[in-house]
Amino acid sequence: MKTKTLLPLIIFLALAALIAPAGAWPSYGKSSYYLPRGYEVSAVIETPEPPFWPGVVDSGVVGLSDGKEDIIVYAHTINPVEPFGKITVELIVSKIVTTEIGWKEERVINRVIIETFDKIADVFVKQKISVKIIHTKSGQVRIYYKTEKLENYKTLATLVSTTQKYVVLASGVELHAPQPIVEINIGGSEESAGSITVNKYLAWFLLGVGAIAVIITVLVLVLAKKR
């Protein structure tokens, strides 16, 4: 009789444990840094180990706050309920806003899958994700990321700046002090505050085309002389 009475409670608690992480976000706080326009801040996020039971584990956080709403970047590792499902590592950028009734709410801006692992066949390997947040002079917030397996940075989000100077948020990450914006590799191109230069692959291609053109010209001249 006791077992029958406790069974609904056990099922309820199990479901609550699975559902709760989906609507939650990791805790974080303010750092001692500020990010004015024309500066960038970077951090390294380590992907968390998957939970033993189905559920979600969050990483540390890096982000910005204008005093009204927060922009946060974090990773999480999902262990699905399905016994033969894939363990998934995602990188997420969200806004934490205050609703009309005073509650905090997460609004996901973008999420990307960093890697997936087979529950049975694969061994989970942690990764370090480099995150760079740029506050441009023109009034944009650009967020980029790069994993250990990527050569160049990729765009995670581009937002409109809401202040002249943000407070940098951080918790559980390797945070680097803000510095003036420098050029970075974005998907094969060099990008700074609104400028893009020729990437190295294009430069090598143009050099190769030029070399081929010179060789063809020399061959034509040699054959012309022989005639």
Nearest CA among 71, 90, 68, 70 for reference residue 79: 90
- At 8 the pLDDT is 55
Q: Residue 21 has what pLDDT?
A: 43
C-alpha atoms less than 13 angstroms from C-alpha of 87 in its C-beta half-sphere: 24
Question: Domain for residue 1, yes or no?
Answer: no
Instruction: Flag whether 226 is in a domain.
Output: no
> Does 30 map to a domain?
yes
Residues in the chain: 227
Global pTM reads 0.72
Start-to-end C-alpha separation, the chain: 107
Q: To the nearest whole percent, how much of the chain has pLDDT over 70?
A: 71
**Contact by Cβ (8 Å): 37, 166:** no
133 falls within a domain: yes
Distance CA 18, CA 20 (A): 6
Residue 172 pLDDT exceeds 80: yes
**pLDDT tens, residue by residue, 74-115:** 999 999 998 888 999 999 999 999 888 888 999 999 999 999
Q: 1-48, pLDDT tens digit by residue?
A: 455 555 555 554 454 444 444 457 899 999 999 999 999 999 999 999
Residue 208 domain-assigned? no
Q: What is the CATH number of the domain that holds 45?
A: 2.60.120
**pLDDT value, residue 202:** 37
Q: Is residue 10 part of a domain?
A: no
Q: Can you give the residue range of the structural domain that contains 129?
A: 21-194
Rg, Å, the chain Cα set: 25
Residue 142 β-bridge partners = 134, 158
Confidence of residue 192 (pLDDT cuts 50, 70, 90): very low
Residue 11 lies in a domain: no
Tell me whether residue 95 is in a domain.
yes
Per the structure, how many domains does the chain have?
1
